[in-house]
Amino acid sequence: MPHSGSYGLFLTLHVLSAFLLVGPLCMTIATAPWLVHAGPAGLSRLRAAARTTWYLPPATVLVALFGLVIVHRGPFGSLRRISDPWLLTSGLLWITAVVISMAVISRGLRRAVHDIERGGDARRQLPAITIGAAATVTCWVVIICLMVMKPGY
């Protein structure tokens, strides 16, 4: 049965915005430790990664907004509530991923850029960036699993 009308439109926008925003964000975050480890040779990419991890996380609010539009009317007439545990968990994980991306990873990448520009060693930023990257990507993967499986639904 097709998803037509406004539900189909907003479902498409939800999935497309997740693909275009979360996909590049996860790839950037996953490669961040290697960019730091590359040192001066990867400085231009490191600068781009610092910008990406600062600007894309707040932009993912579009994914959440499109999801909120369709949350009450599920596919094929099913009803959902924002208080459903899988939706609440997804929301909390989304907030967690955004905060870690901006507060830990982006901040660490900016410090790494600063360290390299000053001729220092950026590798001291690696532990925080690596742990933050693992936590953030895990959050996004769990969100995707919850959106697909809808446990308890």
Domain segments of the chain as ranges: 5-149
pLDDT in tens, 34-51: 999 999 999 999 999 999
105: pLDDT strictly greater than 60: yes
Average pLDDT over residues 72-85: 71
| Interhelix angle 126-149/23-38, nearest 10 degrees | 160
Looking at residue 77, its pLDDT comes to: 56
Write the Ramachandran bin of 77: left for phi over 0, alpha for psi from -120 to 50, otherwise beta: left
Distance CA 126, CA 108 (A): 8
Categorize the per-residue pLDDT at 79 as very low, low, confident or very high, splitting at 50, 70 and 90: low
> Is the model's pLDDT at 57 over the cut of 70?
yes
pLDDT at 153: 61
The pLDDT assigned to 150 comes to 82
Summarize pLDDT for 81-97 with one digit per residue, the tens.
778 888 999 999 999 99
- Is pLDDT at 146 greater than 70 in this prediction? yes
Sign, Cα dihedral of 107, 115, 129, 44: positive
How far apart are alpha carbons 135 and 33 in whole angstroms?
13
- Mean model confidence pLDDT for the chain: 91
- Whether residue 32 is predicted with pLDDT greater than 90 in this model: the reply is yes
- Judged against a pLDDT cut of 90, whether residue 76 lies above it is answered with no
How many Cβ atoms are within 10 Å of 41's Cβ, its own excluded? 10
Buried/exposed 50-88: b ≥16 CB within 10 Å, e otherwise: bebbbebbeebebbbebbebbbeeeeeeeebeeebebbe
